[in-house]
Amino acid sequence: MNGFWSSSDYFAFQHTFRYEDDSVSLDRFTIFEEQRTWQVYNWLLYFSKADIVGDLQRAGIHGIEVVEGFDVAPSDNATFGVVANA
């Protein structure tokens, strides 16, 4: 990964685990350096548009706008942004 994890020489392995029922994924990176081996766990929680809008409304936030088109190419799982006023 071009020196991202360490300025020393290393090997890095990435394993991705998806937990569809919980809308969560895990990227586990194992980094092997000459003197040590270590891991980084990167958990990602996915939200639907309805989940985010509902959470914001329940928190008393209004003026919510969902903005489409953050992907380079349209897809069924297109990314989106949310603009809200407190």
Statement to judge: residues 23 and 60 lie in one domain: no
| CA 63/CA 80 separation, integer angstroms | 16
Residue 18 is inside which H or E element, if any? strand 10-19
Statement to judge: residues 1 and 42 lie in one domain: yes
| CA 27/CA 14 separation, integer angstroms | 7
Number of compact structural domains in the chain: 2
Instruction: Give the model's confidence band at 2: pLDDT under 50 very low, under 70 low, under 90 confident, else very high.
Output: confident
Domain coverage including residue 39: 1-46
Statement to judge: residues 60 and 82 lie in one domain: yes
CA distances, 15 to each of 20, 35, 42, 70 (Å): 16, 22, 10, 26
Task: Note the pLDDT tens digit of each residue in 13-68.
Answer: 999 999 999 999 999 999 999 999 999 999 999 888 899 999 999 999 989 998 88
